[in-house]
Structure 1
Amino acid sequence: MAMDFLRKADWLTRDRVRGYALLVALASLALLANSYFKAMGPDGTDFLAFWGAGHVTSAGEPAAAYDLATQQRVQTATGSLGWFAFVNPPPFLFAATPFGALPFPLAWIAWVAVTWGLWAWASIRAFPRLWPLVVSYPGALVAAGHAQTGLLTGSLLVLAAHELGKRPRLAGAAIGALVMKPHLALLAPFWFAAGGKWRTFVAAGMTVAALLLAALLVFGTATFEGYVTSWKASGLLMEGVNTDFLLRMTTFFSQTRIFAGDGAAYIAGSISALLALLAAVTCWRRFDGDARATGAAVLAATALASPYLFNYDLPFLIFPTLWLVERGITEGFRTYEKLALVVLWFAPYATRAAALPMGVNLMPLAAVALFFLVWTRPGSGLAETETGTAAAT
């Protein structure tokens, strides 16, 4: 009976899951309030970079978004002792500028509310029956607490995965909008091409071109020149082995670099990226052309594709996680799968919270586990299936 408690996890009924999700959501509100008060203090917050860039852009000086001296002056004027370089491509200024026009304390709240709302809308649209697991998702809390871009980029990735089979041009436009953080879309061209989704491929390319042209016309060539200079600031972040910085990252490259140095890190990062790429080009055959299933596989693989990724970038993992829940409800959960999904649902937040105390960020292993569960889901025979009553959420 003790083994069945873990193996089948029949105690995870619909009502219990909803009750637990409500408790997690309430705890998340308290943690988010704590993050807000910390962000208003001398320690600052990542959002200062976006607000500072939007602030100078709203004042008619978009090129100053990339000027380090200007950003130091603007951001520290909020009372923060620290400040952050703005390194996103110029199209991101379209998103940042409206918030930069607001006072910083109000802008933080507005940014979190709007980006969380977009992400929740896209995720609930994809999984309407599983909405309690969306609104309480701990992976979204990390991005919200940092007031980072993960909720915005996550909404685009989830929208693309959900709409690819029904509205291919919309899916392409969503991926194209990731020009604001392009390393999250590394697998998309291969995913679309392998599936013959040429309308999606073209829509993505046209969206990228349109956003770049619009940014050039609106913000000017000096802004693009400033963006090129920001590459140096990005490079400085990766120089040397800054353990605290690398522990905040969620890649095999970063964690290997801590323990084994640059050479081993490049090998680990390359293997991870190549396996993710292989998944993107073979997923259509693996899932018999099921666009939604390939979306789950590619988004799970996206967490393994880039050497530069943080826990706050991971709200998009809601899609493969809930896809597995959805399939389990429909077809029956496999042995230990319910318990594994609970762990993976918490993983983006839990691995970040434990990284500094433990001295290692375990999210890369969680990403591999999530990808494995997605890849082996459809009748592969690699895992025993527990049939019977599935716990709907």
Structure 2
Amino acid sequence: MPAPLATRAPGSPTARAAAPWADLTNLLSSDARLFAFAKRAARALVPFGLAMVLLVYGTGPEPRRNWYGDPLGNDFVQIWVAGRSALEGRGAEPYNLPAHLANLKAACGQECRFAWHYPPVILLPAAATALLDLQPAFLLWTALSLALVGLAMRLAAGRADVAFVALAHPLVLCNLAYGQNGLFTASLLTLGAVLVDRRPWLAGLCFGLLAYKPHFAALAPLLLLVTGRRECLAACASTVLALCLASLALFGSAPWTGFFGTLGDTNRIILRNAAAGLDLNASAFGAVRLLGGPMAAAWTAQGLVATLALGLACRAWCRPTDPALRAAALLVSAPLLSPYLPVYDLAPLVPAALLLALAAHRAGGLRPHERALLCSVPLFAVVREAAGLTGFPLGLVLSLATFACIAWRVRPWRVASDGHRSETGSLNTPVLIGPAAAGSGRAA
């Protein structure tokens, strides 16, 4: 049994001041203690975060505006307005920036700067949400994203309490508060990665549903192709084709014409002009631009990081690898490929860190650098603020730290601490995290 945490017994001021440090040292030196602390924190943070989402961002003193004065549901209003245009037979309007901004102003009663860059397949769920008024649509969107990410985490972790801890991650609450789709992206990537061998058709369906975000969806089919997973690849391609045909049948060809016609504008608005803000973009490209570097240096840095990410994913998928690490490699690599990576799109790092912890647990416990990474999770709450105030690309740093920890585990024939070569594990291996598994300060 592990030694109890230090208590703050009456004593000298020096002893009382040293007690919290001892508690922290014990916490950071034991997987079991860290997990126990994370569970206690999640019990407070998850209800508090959901209350904030529902009461502060989901309601407001004025129709269709929250308590901050922003559009109700923040970024979700874009989805809803585009869906309403599609329902009314004006599916091409989201790709006409002046028309789209006018529709947003008419819906929210204020100026909005949102531009629409999604392919027309997203008009399918957008039109479904637009069948409701903005507030119930936002609440439904929130409930569905929370349910899907909870399912994905539960399936990946194999335990409800581990999945619940993941829901307390700042990136989860960020996506819920702003009505973004990052949780759908992370969930579909996770479900596809963990089901790829057990349920290939279902995994392919999940990968194919990512067609609304092509820069995130491209990596999975490539890995399926190079590893010969034909059944899963066929399901993925069939899903994408079905989505494209459905959008054509329901909304016509005008949205597709508009989408392809705005690709140049997307590059100009998002990358060259950084209209969304340099503090928002957590990619290697965005980090160089945030630091004042020229476009050529930004593209060079992006190419280097993308090459490393692609190399890790291919190594993990093409060689014998713990299935949890294989899934984590896909999840951490997919975001790094894109030159535009808003902080909310870092959401795949949540299941990536969870799967990394599971793999480390099966291999004997977290290493100090992995434990440090997990302890830095609260920093995700201030990624954009840190970039805006200091010019420091904290989002990219956290992404690369997660990438490095997963890459270290993926190394072939890694020698374990006992001198034996580590063996790959099964994603269904039971997880024992707690005092009974603590051993010598690690989860065994």
Match of 2:373 in 1: 340
Q: Give a deviation string over 1:154-202, Cα, whole Å, max 9, x none.
A: 2211111111121112112211111101101232133223322122222
Answering whether residue 205 of structure 2 is matched by residue 173 of structure 1, we say yes
| 1:244 CA drift (Å) | 6.7
Q: 1:200 to 1:289 in 2, by over 3 A?
A: farther
Q: What's 1:60 paired with?
A: 89
1:346–1:191 Cα change, 3 Å: farther
Flag the 1:10–1:200 CA change in 2: closer, same or farther, 3 A.
closer
CA distance in 2, matches of 1:297, 1:387: 28
| Residues in 2 aligned to 1:230 and 1:138: alpha-carbon distance in whole angstroms | 33
- What TM-score, normalized to structure 1? 0.89
Q: Show structure 1 runs of 5+ residues with no match.
A: none
Q: Which residue of 2 aligns with 1:360?
A: 392
How far apart, CA to CA, are the structure 2 residues paired with 1:96 and 1:115? 14
State which drifts further: 368-377 or 29-38. Answer: 29-38
- TM-score, normalised on structure 2? 0.80
Correspondence list, 1:294-313, <5 A: 294-313=326-345
In the alignment, is residue 91 of structure 1 matched against residue 127 of structure 2? no
Does the Cα contact within 8 Å between 1:284 and 1:290 map onto a contact in 2?
no
349-358 or 359-368, larger mean C-alpha shift:
349-358
107-116 or 260-269, which deviates more: 107-116
| Unpaired segments ≥5 residues, structure 2 | 1-20, 420-437
What amino acid does structure 2 have at the position aligned with 1:17? A
2:56 aligned partner: 34
Tell me how far apart the structure 2 counterparts of residues 377 and 235 of structure 1 sit (CA, whole Å).
36
C-alpha distance in structure 2 between counterparts of 1:240 and 1:183, whole Å: 18
Residue aligned with 2:109, SS: coil
Whole-Å separation in 2 of the counterparts to 1:227 and 1:177:
18
SS at match of 2:368: coil
Specify the code of the residue in structure 2 equivalent to 1:388.
S
8 Å CA contact 1:332–1:388 kept in 2: the answer is no
> What letter is aligned with 2:47?
L
Do the aligned residues in 1 keep the contact of 2:83 with 2:128 (CA within 8 Å)? yes
Q: How far apart are the structure 1 equivalents of 2:188 and 2:118?
A: 16
User: 1:265 offset after TM fit, Å?
Assistant: 0.2
**Paired amino acid for 2:29:** K
Deviation at 1:269, TM superposition (A): 0.3
Q: Does the Cα contact within 8 Å between 2:96 and 2:258 map onto a contact in 1?
A: yes
Q: Distance in 2 between matches of 1:156 and 1:105?
A: 25
In the alignment, which residue of structure 2 is the partner of 1:380?
414
Cα contact 1:28–1:138 (8 A) shared by 2? no
Percent of residue pairs identical: 29
Q: How does 1:219-258 map to 2 (within 5 A)?
A: 219-238=251-270, 240=272, 242=274, 245-258=277-290
Query: What amino acid does structure 1 have at the position aligned with 2:221?
Result: P
Contact (CA 8 Å) 1:190, 1:281: kept in 2 or not? no
Paired with 1:201 and 1:244, the residues of 2 have a C-alpha distance of 34
CA distance change for structure 1 residues 310 and 61 in 2, over 3 Å: closer, same or farther? same
Could you tell me how far apart the structure 2 residues matched to 1:327 and 1:291 are? 9
Q: For each residue in 1:199-236, what CA deviation from the matched residue of structure 2 results, as whole angstroms up to 9, or x when unmatched?
A: 22222112111211121122111121122233244133
Preserved contact between residue 76 and residue 83 of structure 1 (Cα < 8 Å): no
Structure 1 position 145, deviation (Å):
1.7
Per-residue deviation, residues 31-50 of structure 1 (Å, max 9, x unmatched):
42434458536543322221
Structure 1 segment 135-150 matched on structure 2, within 5 A: 135-150=167-182
Match of 1:25 among 36, 46, 53: 46
Report the count of equivalent residues. 390
Distance 1:384 1:299 in 2: 30
Note if 1:100 corresponds to 2:121: no
| Structure exhibiting the larger radius of gyration computed from Cα positions | 2
1:66 counterpart letter in structure 2: Y
Moved more, 39-48 or 81-90: 39-48
After the TM superposition, which of the residue ranges 262-271 and 234-243 deviates more from structure 2? 234-243
What SS does the corresponding residue of 1:284 show, helix, strand or coil?
helix
* Structure 1 vs Structure 2 CA RMSD: 2.8
Per-residue CA deviations over 1:360-391 (Å, capped at 9, x if unaligned) read: 33111111111121122266259999973545
Structure 1 contact 48–84 (Cα < 8 Å) conserved: no
Structure with more helix by fraction: 1
Counterpart amino acid of residue 107 in structure 1 = A
Shift of 1:250: 1.0
Query: CA separation in 1, counterparts of 2:303 and 2:264?
Result: 23
